[in-house]
Structure 1
Amino acid sequence: MKFIDTIKNIWKIDELKNRILLTLGLLLVYRFGAQVVLPGIDASQLSGLADQTDGGILGLLNAFTGGAFSNASVFALGIMPYISASIVVQLMGIAIPYLQKLQKEGESGRKKINQITRWLTIGITLLQGPGYIYNLYAILPGSAFLMQNTTLFVASSVIILTTGCIFAMWLGEKITDKGIGNGISLLIMVGIIATLPQAFVQEFVSRVVESNGGVIMILIELIIWFVIILASVMLVMAVRQIPVQYARRTSGGSYEKTMGARQFIPLKLNASGVMPIIFAQAIMFVPSFAGKAINTTAVGQWMEAEFANIFGFWYNVVFALLIIVFTYFYTAITVPTNKMADDLKRSGGFIPGIRPGTETSEYLDRIMSQITLPGSIFLALIAVFPAVMVSLLGLQQGWGLFFGGTSLLIMVGVAIDTMQQVNAYLLNRHYDGLMKSGRKRKAVA
């Protein structure tokens, strides 16, 4: 009953209700566009493309686009070029002084960085578009192309794919500004969830209809799935609280350190989110392509066979090691311990037993290094768990992708972030929040 009352309260807040309806409407537009096939392609002959994207690396890309990749849709590239551009700009910000300067300029600098990211997104899409079209030529029969192999068809399709990516990016930004939640992340999550029913039906048919384990195996898989979801929630929410003492300013303007409220600095166990997995997956494309380039040799054939299978042993060993390395790397560039120490010193705060300034920065950096190790290992285990499930229990590969990795972590992270935003609206209006810790007394009339 409390949950039902909370849902009712959500619709009592006009601003929150309008934001939710706008978000749902824009997400519906995105899902509709994922079903619109590129002009010049016979939609009835796309079965070959769907078969190739059933599992493997292409299956992973298809999951992120919500099936648009296998539909030869106008949104076939999804929002992934924008994600790639954002990662590149973020990494370049470490080495390029101009981007570092923009990062320090506040809102104006952020707008310029967003503009650079958009232009880079167009460039990446223009490179990926022709590759996608020629991949269609390699897979689909010639009769599937109503315009045949013409320059006009390739050029128009690349322009449409680029426009589709930019439109998806615009939808994501509108959701962030006018809706609820992070728009880009919501688009990815909705694409992932869109493939969930089909993946479960295929697993159900395999287990029950084909008598490959029966209903008992389905129940066991669902229990394991919920346990992994809980573990992912714990990973996303886990923090190490560093106690901080804030001094009060006396009437003479000086600080009195013996007085003040005690608070905490929350350091996340997994401060890098899913970015290490995305980085690692981008790198894992390289061995497979390198193997294809030198497939006349024994080493090339081994690389092509092992690293083209995302559920293979060596793929996941290297994948896990890369995740651990990238977790340390991304945490180092995104958690500014020096800035945290400076801000703490300027606000009159200090960590008990630690001197303000450099010593505080070194202390925070040491704590981050200590908690990042278990966080990175836990992240790597969740990332490779789909391969474990496919190998041990014989899951369908499409269903196995939901037992960990980027798919599950994105769904969990986006769901928690969206709930926190809804929770904030409820608390600001003196309603009970969605989350257990977010309760506030109702205003007294």
Structure 2
Amino acid sequence: MKRSAWRYLWMSEDIRKKLLITVGLLILYRLLSNIPVPGIDREVIRSLAQQKGAAGNLINLLDLLSGGTVSNFSILAMGVYPYITAQIILQLLVPIIPALERRLKDNPREGQAWMEKWTVILTIPMAALSAIGQINIFNSMLGSGVSVLKNYGFTGAALIPTLTTLLSMIAGTMIGIWLGQLISEYGIPNQGLSLIIFAGIVSRMPTNLGRVLADKTNGWWMLIVIIAILLLTIFAIVYVQQGRRNVPVLFPGRRIGNRMSMPVTSKLPLMVNMAGMIPLIFAQSILTFPAIVSSYFMSEKTVEWLRNFATGVYHTFGGGNAWYAVLYFIMVVLFTFFYTDVLFTQQNYGENLKKQGAQIPGVVRGAPTQKYLNKVQRRITLPGAVFLGLVAVLPYIVGSILPSGAASSSGLLLVSSAGLLIVVGVVRDTFTIIETELKVHGYDESLIKG
């Protein structure tokens, strides 16, 4: 009896187990995201959720990175954001510190294990700083005398409750990272953290959809506009993600007995967008950091000039303005080039092709081949990087075009354009991995068709 791919997917015990583990861990993560931190004032949180402007936009950005847990200030309110920040810091240090670069090149497997270990270690202080920053940001939005926590402070009787809150938030972040690593190890390979962020974005969409429809004046026509934009954006994302530049490669002939086979011409496919959704997450992580730091200096106790400067930084990096959109676009483009360079250098095509005796026609083997491929990869990365930047700032473009009365209804786009790239990327990567798993377990589309 012939079986379809989906039926084979479920009937394969190993693949079925991986899928069930992945779904189970994602459900567990969403359940944990509803556990509030100790001492949270829910009435204050509800009032914050209704704020607009830079404050509301910053909450939305943090909510995206945390997987929708900032809005209810749960123990997972920071999501995996501190881990991503730690990854960025270490990856930026690799090309700067020669010893780190040598460690990764000389023994890639041991070097990656070392990077993973120190990423987790660095996550702890990053989580502590982020927890304090988030609380300060929320308090600065409320004004003096009001706090999201009923007993918050680092002096007197408030010290122990405050430390308890911070420890619970740090522990929540580590649990989120641990669940992501479990998914990557026992569920869908290498997709743990991406799927956690993906689940948070998808869980927010019904709420945002209801918010758009609640607008009696512009709701339905805004919904039509949003759906049209989303469909066009999805098409464009898939089209760009499929883009390839095929570089011809000549493999030498092989000796078979006393005969020599003819050389074989093949192709090396280079992706237009090799970095995927990572630059978007990196850019958002970096851009929210100044807002978090500036929140420490916005209290009435701070000297006036520093408080004014911190307030300006906070409003600039809080989102919802033209400067933020420009910075966001530039950061996405730069991180696309940076992350593509890091990935492409690690693959070291020049040396690998040289070991196989292969050669790109007209290019010397070894280092010149790697240099040539780097040049080609950077050239084709440019349109991919610009496209990612445009998708990232799509809400700001749409908001400037729409009438002022309808611009507020486009809140769904803030999640969907930035989040949509992540959603489409995760779905594509997940299906690619599942397809690979099917082939590994004996599924052949030419032989098994539904």
User: TM-score per shorter chain, which class?
Assistant: 0.7 to 0.9
- Residue 363 in structure 1 maps to residue 364 in structure 2: no
CA gap of 1:189–1:426, structure 2 versus 1, over 3 A, is same
Instruction: Give the equivalent residue in structure 2 for 1:280.
Output: 283
- Secondary structure of 1:409's counterpart equals helix
Distance in 2 (CA, whole Å) between partners of 1:43 and 1:363 is 58
Q: Look up the match of 1:119.
A: 121
Larger mean Cα displacement after TM superposition, 142-151 or 184-193: 142-151
Q: Secondary structure at the match of 1:263?
A: strand
The 5 A counterparts of 1:49-128 are 49-52=48-51, 55-104=56-105, 105-128=107-130
User: 1:140-198: per-residue Cα shift (whole Å, max 9, x none)?
Assistant: 68596454651011101111111111111110001000001410111111111111110
- Shift of the 317–39 alpha-carbon distance from structure 1 to 2, 3 Å rule, reads closer
SS where residue 189 of structure 1 aligns? helix
The match for 2:220 is: 215
> In structure 2, do the counterparts of structure 1 residues 139 and 327 end up closer, same or farther at CA, with 3 Å as the change threshold?
closer
TM-superposition CA deviations, 1:127-152 (whole Å, max 9, x none): 22222334454556859645465101
1:286 & 1:63 partners in 2: Cα distance?
14
| Cα distance between partner residues in 1 of 2:108 and 2:194 | 23
Structure 2 CA distance for partners of 1:351 and 1:71, relative to 1, 3 Å? same
Which structure 2 residues correspond to residues 222-301 of structure 1 after superposition, within 5 A?
Answer: 222-250=227-255, 259-285=262-288
Q: Distance in 1 between matches of 2:360 and 2:279?
A: 30
Give 1:199 deviation, angstroms.
0.7
SS in 1 for 2:69: coil
The Cα shift of 1:327 comes to: 2.7
Q: Secondary structure at the match of 1:262?
A: strand
Given that 1:235 and 1:375 are in contact with CA atoms closer than 8 Å, whether structure 2 keeps it comes out as: yes
Give the paired residue count. 427
**Corresponding letter in the other structure for 2:372:** Y
Contact 1:311 1:386 in 2 (8 A): no
Q: 1:24 to 1:283 in 2, by over 3 A?
A: closer
Consecutive unaligned residues in structure 2, runs of 5 or more: none
Do the aligned residues in 1 keep the contact of 2:45 with 2:72 (CA within 8 Å)?
A: yes
Q: 1 or 2 for the larger relative contact order (CA 8 Å, sep ≥6)? A: 2
Alpha carbons of structure 1 residues 300 and 259: separation in structure 2 relative to 1, 3 Å: same
Flag the 1:151–1:137 CA change in 2: closer, same or farther, 3 A: farther
Of the three residues 154, 169, 176, the one matched with 1:168 is 176
TM-score relative to the length of structure 2: 0.85
Query: In the TM superposition, what whole-angstrom CA distance separates every residue of 1:265-313 from its partner, at most 9, and x where no partner exists?
Result: 121112233343344334544776779879869x959955862452322
The equivalent of 1:156 in structure 2 is 164
In structure 2, C-alpha distance between the alignment counterparts of 1:60 and 1:305, rounded to whole Å = 13
The SS at the match of 1:404 is helix
TM-score, length of structure 1 as denominator length: 0.85
Question: Which of the residues 381, 399, 411 maps onto 1:398?
Answer: 411
Q: 387-396 or 26-35, which moves further after superposition?
A: 387-396
> Structure 1 residues 164 and 18 mapped into 2: Cα distance closer, same or farther (>3 Å)?
same
> Identical aligned pairs, as a percentage?
30
Q: How far has the Cα of 1:423 moved from its partner?
A: 1.0
Q: Deviations over 1:103-124 (max 9, x none)?
A: 2323333222211111000121
Q: Which residue does 1:421 correspond to in 2?
A: 433
Which of 316, 332, 350 matches 1:341?
350
What is the CA distance between 1:9 and its match in structure 2?
2.0
1:374 and 2:383 matched? yes
1:385 equivalent in alignment to 2:397: no
Distance apart, 1:347 and its partner CA = 0.5
Alpha-carbon contact 1:52-1:58 (below 8 Å) kept: no
Distance of 1:55 and 1:397 partners within structure 2: 13
